[in-house]
Amino acid sequence: MSFLRFHHVFAILMLLSVLSAFVLPARFNHRVSDPARANLQGLFAPVSHPARAVAAWFHDRFAARESRDPRSSQAVADENQKLKVEVANLLGQLQALQRVNADRDRVGPIRPFCTPVPVIGTDPGNRDALNLGGATLGQIAEGQAVAYDLGVVGRVERRGLLGAQVRLITDVGFRVTGKFGKFEQTPRGEVVFTPINSPAPLVEGAGRGLMVVRNLSVADIKKAELQPEEWVVLDDPDWPNLLQNRRIGRIVSVGPQRNHPLHGEVVVQPYSDLLKLREVMVVTKE
């Protein structure tokens, strides 16, 4: 191929890239490219999965573990004991309820309703997404909710023969509605989860492992007395019932928006770094 011809071919390729990335509507772009991407992304699994496992091992062994809990270990141990009792009590109540009403057998631990799928990689670009692989892919479908043992993860964005991609709740543009809540101790010494009375917060992905609530006014936030470390849980009719009230994250900071001082900004962070999960649970049965 002469230089002139190659030069033309390269220019056309670059022009097509510009059109695809900057001009074509995102929805159209995804509709056209996602089936191919979903089927081809799994091809990287033979290297990315072991590379991730090795990197995770090194990270666990050598990286300093950061603690996000300001309480003393004794306080945490005490609370754990109380929570264990509480959980045992609640499970007993649930089992009784499940016996009474067959419809309620969806309430309780979510594990039986989920398919565990290993994470083989992350979005190598600047978006928050997980690439899934493994033998259990056949059971999952696009749009299914994804969780892990400590909260909500996101939704299956695309699925192919060899892989699937989960868009995380922290990815920019991802929106769910939730509610605020906190753990309080009753006069009898029981620790109970109490919802905080406020307008429904819209939790938006902000990228870099964070989420933000921007639809509340400063007055709403003051009235609700929101504080760091309080929880945000899922309360969204578009999500499966068994994930309702499941933790989305914890409040990291509360304040006014920089450009709109009358509107509040609540920054929320998942309990774990979702990009470092090694396995997720896809809700395949509802």
Partner 1 sequence: MRWLAYFILAYCAIAVQSGAGVYMAYKGAAPNLVLLAVIFIAINAPRDAALLAGFCTGAMWDLLTQQPLGLYALGFGLVALFVAGTQSVVYREHPLTHFSMALVGGLLVAFLLMLHALFRSPEIVRTVQNADGLPTPRVSLLPPFLSAAYTAVLAPFALAALRRVRGVFAFEAPRRRMTF
| Contact set for partner 1, span 76-115 (CB under 8 A) | none
The reply on whether position 16 binds partner 1 by CB under 8 A is yes
Nearer Cβ to partner 1 (115/131): 131
**Cβ at position 153, least distance to partner 1 in Å:** 14
Side-chain half-sphere CA neighbours of 176 within 13 A: 32
- Binding test (CB under 8 A) with partner 1, winner from 134, 178, 205, 264: 205
With contact defined as beta carbons under 8 Å apart, do 144 and 282 qualify?
A: yes
Burial class (CB in 10 A: 0-12, 13-18, 19+), 29: middle
Q: Report if residue 285 touches partner 1, rule: CB under 8 A.
A: no
Q: Whose Cβ is closer to partner 1: residue 18's or residue 100's?
A: 18
Output Rg (C-alpha) for the chain, integer angstroms. 22
Residue 123 sits in the site that holds partner 1 (CB under 8 A): yes
Looking at the Cβ atoms of 49 and 246, the one nearer to partner 1 is: 49
- Under the binding rule (CB under 8 A), the answer on residue 189 touching partner 1 is no
Q: Quick one: tokens of 148?
A: 């892990």
Looking at the Cβ atoms of 151 and 178, the one nearer to partner 1 is 178
Q: Should residue 66 be labelled a site residue for partner 1 when binding is judged by CB under 8 A?
A: no
Distance of alpha carbon 51 from alpha carbon 47, whole angstroms: 6
By C-beta, is 26 or 100 nearer to partner 1?
Answer: 26
Question: How far apart are alpha carbons 97 and 101 in whole angstroms?
Answer: 6
User: Cβ of residue 225: shortest distance to partner 1, in angstroms?
Assistant: 21
End-to-end CA separation in angstroms for the chain: 57
Q: Mask 246-275, x = binds partner 1 (CB under 8 A)?
A: ---------------------------x-x
Which member of 1, 100, 102, 135 binds partner 1 (CB under 8 A)?
1
Q: What residues does 213 pair with on adjacent strands?
A: 203, 266
Q: Phi-psi bin for 108: left (phi > 0), alpha (psi -120 to 50), beta? A: left
Alpha helices in the chain (DSSP H): 3-18, 26-40, 45-62, 73-100, 218-224
Among 117, 153, 159, 204, binds partner 1 (CB under 8 A): 204
Q: Which of 113, 157, 234, 249 binds partner 1 (CB under 8 A)?
A: 157
Query: Tokens 């045992």 — which residue?
Result: 88
Shortest Cβ distance from residue 237 to partner 1 (Å)? 11
- Do residues 255 and 226 make contact, with C-beta atoms less than 8 angstroms apart? no
Q: Are residues 118 and 281 in contact, defined by beta-carbon separation less than 8 angstroms?
A: no
Region 214-233 residues binding partner 1, contact defined as CB under 8 A: 214-215
Which of these segments, 71-79, 98-106, 164-172, 245-253, binds partner 1 (CB under 8 A)? 164-172
